[in-house]
Amino acid sequence: MSNLPESKNLPIEKLASVFNNTSATYKFYWFLAIIDSIEEGKTEIEKEELFIKMLSIPWYTVNYFNISFGSQDLIQRAIKQIILLTGIPISEKQHKIIKVLKTTSNPEIKSLVYHFDKNVPHWFLSPWYSGHSKKDIYQRSENLENNPLYALKKDKIIINPAWTFYIKQHSKLLKDFTYWNLALFLQTRNPSVPDIPNKLIRPAKRNSLQKQRNSFWNKYLALKETTCIFTGKQIFQNNYALDHFVPYAFVSHDLIWNLIPIDNSFNSSKNNKLPPLERYFDDFFNLQKDAYITLSQAGEIKKYKEDYLSIFPDLNKETCFEKEKFRDAISPLITIANNNGFEFLEYN
């Protein structure tokens, strides 16, 4: 989406071009923080509040999905450092992250937060003041020259009254516009990572795997005895965890070819760790193939056959369920995920 709602009185083309030249994620998260504050009814907004929101919004993207923001991007590094300094959990809610960062007296954290004041507030306004220095942009914006989005002060920004209604009226579309541009930006830095757009916002609730459990694996376990590929313990219908072989945090889907029943007690220790293929792939493949063939013969595979077609496009008989083809699909995912910071599961 490249077009923003028109306005007779506002230079919409300036706002539409703010992300044209970006080398880091700062502008995206700065604008999202501004929209969020305007939605809260604020028109005079402390810079510190905006910088803290800039760090809280991508918290889950950085820590759970391990998306790379680029080697020069301080947001990613700042979040990692703040976790070390505060112990804030990876999965913490945004409002709690904001509260910790607002109330901290740690000078190192304060320094990480205020780093963004060096460039972000004035360079966001560069479309309104092309070619001007930081000092000029502050002065001209304060006088609302060229009708900017906000006026810059030392410790705060003041939203231009001419823009307030527009932002409130179109806040959802403006967020979509920002996330769309952010997804394009991050995809170039993560070319092999799947489903970037769905990794930018923490989902309110993860999809339940109950359907896959009831209509696939429970039916298989009713027909065959099997054991956990990680612990060797027997799996029973009423006592197992359904696990993503390649972590959900990387693949961001629940296709049946990546789901296997595992020992309940092992599920939490595996978490988002990668299974070393030299140790676990053969057992994973054998379980997947046997489940597919068993349920095919029982007439129970129809609704899940589509899931397997992304691995085996010509899947119409048992001989098409090829081990090397499956490994060729899984192996790059494991390698790329590890390169993006996912750790391997240790084994003896």
> Structural domain of residue 244, as residue ranges?
210-339
Average pLDDT along the chain: 93
Closest to 294 measured CA to CA, from 236, 211, 218, 233:
218
* pLDDT band, residue 70 (cuts 50/70/90): confident
Nearest to 285 by CA among 246, 238, 322: 322
Give the mean model confidence (pLDDT) for residues 312-332: 83
> Do 41 and 143 belong to one domain?
yes
What residues form DSSP beta bridges with 46?
Answer: 156
Q: Is the domain of 248 the same as that of 284?
A: yes
| DSSP H stretches of helix in 143-203 | 161-169, 171-189
Q: How far apart are CA 4 and CA 103, in angstroms?
A: 37
Does residue 117 form part of some domain? yes
Q: Taking phi first (over 0 means left), then psi (-120 to 50 degrees means alpha), and beta for anything else, what does residue 4 get?
A: beta
> Which sign, positive or negative, has the C-alpha torsion 311, 222, 224, 280?
positive
Position 94 scores a pLDDT of: 93
Span 195-223, average pLDDT: 90
Instruction: Give the domain-ending residue among 176, 199, 222.
Output: 199
Per-residue pLDDT of 7-35, as tens digits, reads 999 999 999 999 998 999 999 999 999 99
Give residue 348's pLDDT.
65
Q: How far apart are CA 195 and CA 285, in angstroms?
A: 24
- Asked whether the predicted pLDDT for residue 176 surpasses 50, the reply is yes
Q: 190 with 216, same domain?
A: no
Using a pLDDT cut of 90, give the percent of the chain over it: 80
Is 2 a domain residue? no
Q: Does 287 lie in the same domain as 168?
A: no
1 pLDDT exceeds 90? no
Distance CA 30, CA 45 (A): 12
User: What's the pLDDT at 312?
Assistant: 87
- For residue 3, what pLDDT is reported? 81
Instruction: For residues 272 and 233, state if they share a domain.
Output: yes
Place of tokens 């804030």: 88
Q: What percent of the chain has pLDDT over 70?
A: 98
Q: Which of 199, 231, 256 is the last residue of a domain?
A: 199
Give yes or no: residues 215 and 134 share one domain: no
1 falls within a domain: no
Q: Do residues 243 and 267 make contact, with C-beta atoms less than 8 angstroms apart?
A: yes
Q: Classify residue 347: in a domain, yes or no.
A: no
* Same domain, residue pair 42 and 86: yes
Which of helix, strand or coil describes residue 205?
coil
Tell me the mean pLDDT in the region 64-71: 89
Identify whether 4 is part of a domain: no
Look at residue 26 in the predicted model and tell me its pLDDT.
97
Q: What is the pTM of this model?
A: 0.86
Structure-model confidence comparison of residues 206 and 28, the more confident one? 28
Which residues partner with 243 through β-bridges? 260
What is the tens place of the pLDDT at every residue in 100-127? Answer: 999 999 999 999 999 999 999 999 999 9
Cα separation of the two ends of the chain: 50
- pLDDT at 2 (0 to 100): 54
Whole-number Cα distances in Å, 36 to 30, 41, 159, 181? 10, 9, 13, 18
The residue from 199, 224, 245 where one domain ends is 199
pLDDT for 134-145, tens place per residue?
Answer: 999 999 999 999
- For residue 235, the one-letter residue type is I
Q: Do residues 189 and 219 both lie within one domain?
A: no
Q: What pLDDT does residue 316 have? A: 67
Q: Is the residue at 188 inside a domain?
A: yes
Q: Are 100 and 50 in contact (CB under 8 A)?
A: no
pLDDT greater than 80 at residue 250: yes
Residue 103 token pair: 């109330």
Residue 220 shares a structural domain with residue 92: no
**155, 145 Cβ separation under 8 angstroms:** no
Residue 71 and residue 73: Cα distance in Å, rounded?
A: 6
| Residue linked to tokens 């307030």 | 164
How would residue 318 be classed by pLDDT, with cut points 50, 70 and 90? low
In the structure, what pLDDT confidence band is assigned to residue 86 with cuts at 50, 70 and 90? Answer: very high
Residue 303: per-residue pLDDT: 86
Look at 97 and 309; give whichever has higher pLDDT: 97
Residues 134 and 164 in one domain: yes
Amino acid making up residue 197: P
Domain count, the chain: 2
Query: Does residue 174 sit in the same domain as residue 312?
Result: no
